[in-house]
Structure 1
Amino acid sequence: MIARVAALACLLLWCALAPTAVAGGAKGKPKRTPEVDRRIAITIDDLPWQWAGRLHPDVFAARHAKLIAAVRASGVTGVGFVNEKELEVDGKVDPARVAMLREWLDAGWELGNHTWGHLDYHAVGLEAYEADVLKGERVLRPLLAERGETPKWFRHPWLRNGRTPEERAALDAFLAQHGYRTAPVTVNTGEWIWANAYQRTLDGVAPDAEKQATLARLRSEYVAYMLAKLAFLEQQSLTLLEYNVPQVLLLHANELNAETFPELIGGMQQHGYRVVSLEEAVRDPAYARVDGYRGPHGISWLHRWALAEGKQRSFFMGDTTVPRWVMDIAGVETE
C-alpha cells in the first residue's frame, strides 16, 4: 500500500509538471507550457563495496558481479567513488578487488576518490583528512594511469566539506592543488537506510518465505520512494531556480542497488530523465552558486543554495520520508 501511494504521488507530481495546453495562444491556438528538461548524472559511492569487510570473499565476488551486470544491463554510465580501505584484506591490497575496479572502468564508468577510510572531515580535521585523501589514491592514480587518465572527481564522505568558510576554503585549495573537483549531490536520499534494512533482512535468520516477502517489499517500495524523492527535488529546483537543474544522484555499491538498479534507472527514464555525465551536469551555472550550509549533515546542494538565499522553513516542507517499518528493520531512529 505504501509503495502504491508513493508511486501515485510521484506520478501526480510529474503529471503536474508535464506540458499542458492552455487557452490564449496566437490566433486562438492553445499555448503549451515549456517542457521540463530532465537530466541526471549517476554516482555510486563506496566502491568496491559498501561494508565489504563483513562479507566472505565468495559472497563479495558474487554480489559485485550482480551489481556490475545490473549496471551494464541498464546501459548507463556515471562515476564511482572508491574507498581504498575496502581494497585491502588483512592490511594488503587484494588484486581481486582491484580487478573489480577495472570492471567498472571496462563498463565505461569513471572512478573518483572517496578517501581511503571514509573519514569525516568535521571529526578529524584538515591535516588527517588531507593525508587520507592522498592515501586514497595510491591504487586509484596508477590504475587510471594505465588508461592515460588521472583522478579528477572527489566525493566527501557524508558530504561534510567544512563547518566554516575557512575550513571549506582550506580543503578546496588542497583538492584543487591535487587536480580534484568536488562532486556535488542534489538527489541525496535515505537510500542508506533502505540498504541497511535490506542487508539485515538478507543476512537474518527469519524463515525463508518471510524473508523473501520482506526483501521483495523492500525492493518495490525502495524504487517507488526514490522516484517520489526525485519528483520532489525536481519541484524544489523549479521553485528555487525556475528550471530543473541537471540532477546528481547519490547511490552506494550494495546489495539493494544490485537488485534494483535497472528498475530504478528505467523508472527515471520513463518519467523523461536522460542520464548524462557528471561533467555535463555540473556545467550548469547553478553549480557555481553559493553553498549556504555550515551544519553537520550531508544535505542536497539544492537545499544548500536555498539556505544561501535565506529560504524559510516552508520551502523544505513536504519531503518524501523513509517509512517507519523500514527504519525499524534498519535499526535507525531518524533520517
Structure 2
Amino acid sequence: MRPFPSVAAPWGRAAILSLILSLAAAAGAVAAPPPDRRLALTVDDLPWVPLPEVPTAEVLPGHRRLVAAVARAGVPVVGFVNEGKLEDRGRIDPERLQMLRDWRDAGAELGNHSYGHSDLHAVGLAAYQADILRGERQLKALTDEKSQPAPRWFRHPYLRAGRSVEDKAALQAFLAEHGYRIAPVTVDNADWIWAGAYLRLDQRGDARLKARLRRDYLRYMGAKLDYYERQSIALLGYNLPQVWLIHANLLNADAYGELIAMARKRGYRFVGLDEALRDRAYQRADAYLGPAGPSWLHRWAIGERKPPTFFAGEPETPDWVLNLAGVESE
C-alpha cells in the first residue's frame, strides 16, 4: 500500500490547528440560532384616541377598519381602555360602548388604562387609584356579557409609573388587591406623533403624502424593533419576548396589517402578553423614578447605572413628520 502523505509538510502543526479551529468557528457561526423573536402586541387609548373631543360618527370608519384588520391578522392583542372616552356630556354613548364590543369580538382582550388617562405624577397616588377603579365599570360589564374573566391588565397612562419607591410599592399592592398586573412596554415609540401628522394629511386629502408617511412609519417602527432587540441583547444577553405599544388611531387603522407583516418579515412570532411576561427579565424591579415614561429595558438599564452611551442610537421621528404634527420633539 502506498503510504499516506504526511499532512505536516508543507503545513506545520500550528497552522493545521489554526485551520481546524477556524473551520469549527465558522461552522458554529452558521449553526447559531437566530435571536428568540417573540412579540406581544398591545393597543392603547381604546376605543379611539381623539375621543371624547370629536363626534362619534367622525371616528367610526377608521375604527371599523382597525378592528377589521385586528380580526384578519388573528394575532393576540390586548387593548387598553380609557372609559372616559365612552362618555358624551356625562353619559355613556351606546355607539362608543359598541366600539369596545367590536374590539372584544375581534379577539382582543381588554385591559384598564384608567378612566381619564390620568398622569400619576400630576394627580397623586390616591386620585390615580380612584381613576383606575372608575375605569373598570364598563370593562367588567363587557366581560360579564360573555362570561369572561374580569380585566387583569393595567397600563400606566404616559407610562409614568411613580416618582418614589414608596408610591410604586403602594400602587403595586393596590393593583394586586384588585386583580391587576402591570403591562410593561419594551418597544416604545412615538406613533402618536406620526398619527397626528397622518390625521392632518387625511383632513387635507393629501393621498400622496399620506402614502409616503405610511411607508416611512413602517421603516421607523421596524427600526424601533431592531433597536430594542439590540438593547435587550446588550443588557440581558438575549432578546426577551418584547412588548410592543401602538395606539387606536387612523394611522394604525390603515397600517395595521403592514405592521404585522413587517414584524413577521423580521422573524417575529406574535404571542400573548401573559406568555411574554413569563420571561425571567420581567421579574426585575422598575428602578426608574424620573418624570418620563421610557421602555422597561431602559428602566432596567438605568437601575444598573448604564452610561449614557448605552442608550444611544434610538431611531427618531424625522423633522418633516414633527412639523406636520406640530410637535417640537418626541
Residues 135-171 of structure 1 deviation map (CA, whole Å, 9 limit, x = unaligned): 1011111211222310100000001110010111111
Alignment partner of 1:318 is 2:313 = yes
2:233 aligned partner: 238
**CA distance in 1: counterparts of 2:253 and 2:72, whole angstroms:** 11
TM-score by structure 1 length?
0.89
**Aligned: 1:302 with 2:301:** no
Q: Identify if the C-alpha distance between structure 1 residues 213 and 179 changes in structure 2 by more than 3 Å, giving closer, same or farther.
A: same
Pairing of 1:27-66 with structure 2 (within 5 A): 29=27, 31=29, 32-66=31-65
How far is 1:200 from its partner? 2.0
Alignment partner, residue 183 of structure 1: 183
Aligned to 2:155: 155
Measure, in 2, the Cα distance between the counterparts of 1:30 and 1:130. 53
Q: What corresponds to 2:277 in structure 1? A: 282
Q: Cα offset for 1:62?
A: 1.2
Letter paired with 1:111: L
Paired residues of 1:23 and 1:30 also in contact (CA < 8 A): no
Distance across 1 between alignment mates of 2:47 and 2:28 = 53
Matched, 1:200 2:231: no
| 8 A Cα contact 2:52 2:86, kept in partner | no
CA distance in 2, matches of 1:260, 1:192: 13
Residue number in structure 2 paired with 1:78: 77
| Partner SS state of residue 118, structure 2 | coil
Residues 319-334 of structure 1: pairs in structure 2 closer than 5 A: 319-334=314-329
TM-aligned CA deviation for residue 29 of structure 1: 4.9
CA distance in 1, matches of 2:211, 2:27: 49
CA deviations 1:240-275 (Å, max 9, x no partner) are: 111001000011000000000000110100110000
Return the alpha-carbon distance in structure 2 between the equivalents of residues 322 and 216 of structure 1: 16
The 10-residue stretch of structure 1 (102-111 or 233-242) with the greater mean CA deviation from structure 2: 102-111
Shift of 1:58: 2.1
- Per-residue deviation, residues 28-72 of structure 1 (Å, max 9, x unmatched): 955422321100000000000001234332222111101111112
Say if 1:140 and 1:328 are closer, same or farther in 2 by CA, change over 3 A.
same
Contact 1:77 1:107 in 2 (8 A): no
Find the structure with the greater CA-based Rg.
2
Residues 1:29 and 1:328: Cα distance change in structure 2 (over 3 Å): closer
SS at match of 1:169: helix
**Aligned counterpart in structure 2 of residue 226 of structure 1, from 218, 221, 224:** 221
Instruction: Encode CA deviations 1:284-315: one digit per residue, 9 max, x unaligned.
Output: 01001121211111100000111111100010
| Divergent runs of 4+, >6 A | none
- 2:169 aligns to what? 169
Q: Partner letter of residue 81 of structure 1?
A: F
Secondary structure in 1 matching 2:137: coil
CA distance in structure 1 between the aligned counterparts of 2:125 and 2:155, rounded to whole angstroms? 15
Letter in 2 for 1:239: A
Specify the code of the residue in structure 2 equivalent to 1:322. Answer: T
2:250 aligned residue (228, 231, 255)? 255
1:128, 1:327 → 2: CA distance? 33
Match for residue 16 of structure 1? none
AA matched with 2:276: A
Summarize deviations over 1:215-264 as a string: whole Å, max 9, x none: 11111100110001110110111111110010000110000000000001
Distance 1:326 1:23 in 2: 48
Q: State the AA in 2 paired with 1:156.
A: H
Q: Distance in 2 between matches of 1:23 and 1:184?
A: 43
- Residue identity matched to 1:199: L
C-alpha displacement at 1:25, in angstroms? 2.4
RMSD: 1.5
Deviates more, 1:252-261 or 1:288-297: 288-297
CA–CA distance in structure 2, aligned partners of residues 191 and 29 of structure 1: 41
Tell me the distance in 1 between the aligned counterparts of 2:230 and 2:224: 10
Structure 2 unaligned spans of 5+: 1-20
> In structure 2, what is the equivalent of residue 24 of structure 1?
23
* Structure 2 Cα separation of the partners of residues 24 and 142 of structure 1: 63
Shift of 1:106: 1.4
Aligned to 1:14: none
Aligned residue identity for 2:202: L
Map Cα deviations across residues 78-127 of structure 1 (whole Å, 9 max, x no partner).
10000001111111111221111112111211000000000000000011
